[in-house]
Structure 1
């Protein structure tokens, strides 16, 4: 998949656990884990906004586009 989720990188930079982020953002651990592992098919802007507010980052710090090779 050409969209890479770098949520774990930002969490490490902020020294924040998945449990802590889950509590602050208001998402279940399972939904946050699905997003973190890149298995999510979509993400709501409101969720992305909440994550960015808590981690004090930009959406581009979390989501990255990488072209697939043919």
Structure 2
């Protein structure tokens, strides 16, 4: 069994195509060397802590708005709203237009949706 572990140390992520290319290369290289074929697990992505917190769920709760209502107010797809609501860190790709739609619908500022929370220096305890 081959397990591929992918960890980022500086937040730089490679595209999915690079991961898939690596997986296909491993499968091709080991296909004839194992009995019963090769079993692969998909790469494990380790997220580093992100100091920018995403507060869409908090603002929606404060205003008693569910994801369907917000979808109607913004013109965005309900699944997109639901995905954005259920994450706690800033979305990896957040378009300016999307941020503007949220701010207009929720009557808020971008700083209400995004909050910077600095990491504690290593070695310090509270």
What is the aligned partner in structure 2 of residue 4 from structure 1? 53
The structure with more strand, counted as a fraction of residues:
2
**TM-score (normalizing by structure 1):** 0.85
Task: Report how many residues are paired.
Answer: 70
Which residues of structure 1 form unaligned runs of 5+?
none
Q: Which residue of 2 aligns with 1:20?
A: 69
More helix by share: 1
| Structure 1 runs of 4+ with >6 Å offset | none
Q: Which has the higher contact order (CA 8 A, sep 6+)?
A: 1
Give, in angstroms, the shift of residue 30 of structure 1: 2.3
Q: TM-score, normalised by structure 2?
A: 0.50
What's the C-alpha RMSD, in Å, of the aligned pairs? 1.5
Structure 1 residue 45 corresponds to structure 2 residue 96: yes
Q: C-alpha distance in 1, partners of 2:83/2:92?
A: 9
